Amino acid sequence: MRLAETKYSAQEIKDLVDTYMMETYERFDFIAETAEGMYLYDENGVGYLDFYGGVAVNNIGNTNPRVVKAVIDQVQDVSHTFNYPYTLPQALLAKTICEAIGMDKIFFQNSGTEANEAMIKLARKYGVENFGPDKYHIISAKKSFHGRTFGSLSATGQPETANHNGYMPGVPGFSYVPFNDIEAIKEAYNDHVIGIMLEPIQGEGGVHPADQAYLQEVRAFCDEKGILLMLDEIQTGWGRTGSLMAYMYHGIKPDIVSMAKAMGGGTPLGAICATKEVSKAFTIGSHGSTYGGSPLCCAAGLAAVTEIIEKDLATNAHQVGTYFTDLLRSMPGVKEVRGRGLMIGVEFHEPIAHEVKHLAFDKKLLITQIDQHTIRMVPPLIADKQNCDTAFQILQQSVKELSSFTEYQARLA
């Protein structure tokens, strides 16, 4: 829908949001009216270089033609049926995903947090059915982020943050250990533990990658104890980090993996994949979802996932990501650049992340901020080196303006 087709001004639209919506988001101050590839456009046709990709969702670029066509075709045939009849998009997407990432079975959901709820439920049911009612506990990592519904929120190891504050008590049966520390897992382990739940790269927690050895050691420990490795690849999945799934880079396989964000091509779609053995715990009637795996979202998902695989966007993410990361490391004021592929966190020496985000926005570059010191960039995986050069120049200019401002303030003081 375009502003010109309504009777409202841009300011009136913002006022409507203020008046009628519960606002929990700090907004970019513009109306995203259209989008294409690497750009979002406002109602005047002004372009914004998209280096947040709808938060790691638009991996194949904004309004990708393949997804647009798939959605239009499918909505005209059948958009929703509930999961009683068989539908083509669902079956084909299930096959495409399981084969591409080497897993046996899939269950569709609508979002990331829901995918993690399914992962937690499957792990618990597998534990209780195979080892008895006391085998339900899940160990996750400090600074992890697994979602905002109660199960995934309780798995989220950030008890001190706004994610948890005001919402406790959570769901029992979770404990948190420091990330990248195999000994901490061994210490926390007891007979109640059914699984270890981790992100291969902690996203919301500050873009902290798991060490190559760490995930392999966790895999070996899970095998030794006969428990489940549960990976949350909601952000790292679908080419983002330079391989289709991040676990492929580590040369391991989880027992259950959750995914969402990019897999729906911009429609709400999530899923878990699991081994044949673990999947057996889900039987007729034991889990479900009204919308999960709708023909509409699966058609979009099939287009998106096929596009990622056929265009080998994972390789582009690796190449362009490496180029961009090297550039960012040369920028003044930067303490550390973390991540892999096109999942990049930049930590500054000074707490300037919020100001950098806003100055970049003024120069028509969209990025996100994680904490006072850290910005995150998760652009579409179609980004090229030129896009990175542009983003780099804007960021460098923004930091420069800030430091001269800070120096100026210091001189005044």
Ligand X SMILES: *Cc1c(COP(=O)(O)O)cnc(C)c1O
Q: Which two tokens stand for residue 332?
A: 């003044």
Q: Rounded to an integer, what distance in angstroms lies between the CA atom of residue 365 and that of residue 40? A: 10
All residues at 6 or more sequence positions from 86 whose CB lies less than 8 Å from its CB, including other chains? none
Q: Rounded to an integer, what distance in angstroms lies between the CA atom of residue 169 and that of residue 152? A: 13
Which one of 137, 146, 240, 318 is in contact with ligand X (CB under 6 A)? 146
**Residue 234 is a binding residue for ligand X (CB under 6 A):** yes
Cβ 267 to ligand X, closest distance in Å? 12
CA-CA-CA-CA torsion for 396, 398, 400, 402, nearest 10 degrees?
-150
Number of CB atoms found within 10 A of residue 295's CB: 20
Cβ 200 to ligand X, closest distance in Å? 9
Q: Which is nearer to ligand X, 144 or 398 (CB)?
A: 144
> Is cis: bond before 169, omega within 30 of 0?
yes
**Residue 147 is a binding residue for ligand X (CB under 6 A):** yes
Task: Specify whether the CB–CB gap between 307 and 132 falls below 8 A.
Answer: no
The pair phi, psi for residue 88, each rounded to 5°, is -60, -50
Q: Residue 182 to residues 194, 244, 265, 316: CA-CA distances in angstroms? A: 16, 25, 35, 32
Q: Which is nearer to ligand X, 162 or 412 (CB)?
A: 162
**Residue 58 is a binding residue for ligand X (CB under 6 A):** no
Task: Specify whether the CB–CB gap between 230 and 198 falls below 8 A.
Answer: yes
Cβ 99 to ligand X, closest distance in Å? 24
Of 33-41, 228-236, 345-353, 388-396, which segment contacts ligand X by CB under 6 A? 228-236
Cβ 400 to ligand X, closest distance in Å? 31
Cβ 236 to ligand X, closest distance in Å? 7
Report how far Cα 368 is from the mean position of its chain's Cα atoms: 13
Q: Residue 164 to residues 113, 154, 169, 245: CA-CA distances in angstroms? A: 14, 8, 9, 28
**Residue 339 is a binding residue for ligand X (CB under 6 A):** no
Provide the residue type at 259 as one letter: M
Q: Rounded to an integer, what distance in angstroms lies between the CA atom of residue 7 and that of residue 216? A: 58
Q: Which is nearer to ligand X, 74 or 116 (CB)?
A: 116
Report how far Cα 58 is from the mean position of its chain's Cα atoms: 11
Task: Specify whether the CB–CB gap between 409 and 388 falls below 8 A.
Answer: no
- Using CB under 6 A as the criterion, what x/- string covers residues 16-45 for binding ligand X? ------------------------------
Cβ 111 to ligand X, closest distance in Å? 4
Cβ 49 to ligand X, closest distance in Å? 22
230, containing H or E segment = strand 228-232
- Number of residues binding to ligand X, judged by CB under 6 A: 15
Cβ 148 to ligand X, closest distance in Å? 6
Q: Which is nearer to ligand X, 232 or 355 (CB)?
A: 232
**Residue 254 is a binding residue for ligand X (CB under 6 A):** no
**Residue 260 is a binding residue for ligand X (CB under 6 A):** yes
- Using CB under 6 A as the criterion, what x/- string covers residues 176-215 for binding ligand X? -----------------------x---xx-----------
In 3-state terms, what secondary structure has residue 117?
A: helix
Cβ 128 to ligand X, closest distance in Å? 24
Q: Rounded to an integer, what distance in angstroms lies between the CA atom of residue 203 and that of residue 366? A: 17
Q: Which is nearer to ligand X, 147 or 380 (CB)?
A: 147
Which one of 232, 255, 307, 355 is in contact with ligand X (CB under 6 A)? 232
Contacting ligand X within 84-143 (CB under 6 A)? 111-113, 116
**Residue 247 is a binding residue for ligand X (CB under 6 A):** no
Q: Rounded to an integer, what distance in angstroms lies between the CA atom of residue 261 and that of residue 233? A: 9
Q: Which residue is nearest to ligand X (CB)?
A: 112
Cβ 234 to ligand X, closest distance in Å? 4
Interface contacts to ligand X, rule CB under 6 A:
111-113, 116, 145-147, 199, 203-204, 232, 234-235, 260-261
